[in-house]
Amino acid sequence: MSAVNSKQRQFDALVRSLSGDLFRYAYWLCGDEALAHDLVQETFLRAWRALGDLRETGAAKSWLITILRREHARLYERKTPQFADVSEIDVADDRDTAQPEHIGEDAVIRAAIHRLDPKYREPLLMQVLGGFSCDEIARELNISSAAVMTQLFRARQKLKAMLSGGDAAANVYEFPA
């Protein structure tokens, strides 16, 4: 098999196995299906040109997500948010917070995710959809692991607050006695 054919086969396999995951990530990143489609396509076209940089097939998804994030960043100006440390966060007991499956359908959760501030949504997507660890997210976002944990904690807290009919900005939970 020639090197060209081998590269093409590898690329085809990546597209067929990961384009769906990349689309989901892009969709939740930008909130627009057509734009997500274009982002995913541009990501794979860049990946094709840089395929030699991919050393481990197992790392392909995170590698592609990194490319996708850069593509997305080219579209939007970004500001570096300020983060509190995770140790400063009040912790709630979720037992009294209704579970989302009891509150509504997926559409309700999706609407809440859309309302989530991007600084909370993005690390959550990287963790849940991308399979990144906290340290990997920290490297990708160029912030500390503690800041990532804070964002992830608050992302979930705010989602639960919205799904309970609360204000996304609310942070009123207290750790149970």
Partner 1 sequence: MNCLEFRRQLGSDPQTVDAAFLRHRAECARCAEASAHAAGFEAALRRALQVEPSPQLAESILLAQATQQNRRHAYLRRGGLLALAATLVLAIGVGMRVEAKPLSTQAVEHLREEAEVLSAVKPLSAESVRAAFAQRGLTLSQVPGGVAFVGCCPMGRHLTVHMVMPEADGPVTVIYVVDRGSSRREDFQRDGWHGRSLPLGNGTLILLARDTDHFDSVESAWRAALAG
Q: Residue 162 CB, nearest distance to partner 1 (Å)?
A: 12
Q: Which residues bind partner 1 (CB under 8 A)?
A: 11-12, 15-16, 19-20, 23-24, 27-28, 33-34, 36-38, 40-41, 44-45, 48, 86-87, 89, 91-95, 97, 99-101, 106, 109-110, 113, 125, 127-129, 133-134, 148-150, 152-153, 156-157, 159-160, 175-176
Q: What are the tokens at 13?
A: 């396999």
Q: DSSP readout, 50-114?
A: TGGG---GGGHHHHHHHHHHHHHHHHS---------GGGS----GGGSPPHHHH--HHHHHHHHH
Is 11:47 a contact under the CB 8 Å cutoff?
A: yes
| Selection from 149, 177, 173 nearest residue 161 by Cα | 173
Tell me 167's DSSP state. Answer: -
Task: Report how far residue 18's alpha carbon sits from residue 61's, in angstroms, rounded to the nearest whole number.
Answer: 7
Nearer to partner 1, 65 or 134 (CB): 134
Smallest gap from Cβ 34 to partner 1, in A, equals: 4
In angstroms, give the least distance from the CB of 3 to partner 1: 14
Q: Token pair of 30, please?
A: 């930008």
Q: If we measure between CA atoms, which residue out of 113, 87, 138 comes closest to residue 29?
A: 113
Q: Minimum Å distance from CB 56 to partner 1?
A: 21
Question: What minimum distance in Å lies between the beta carbon of 20 and partner 1?
Answer: 6
Nearer to partner 1, 59 or 91 (CB): 91
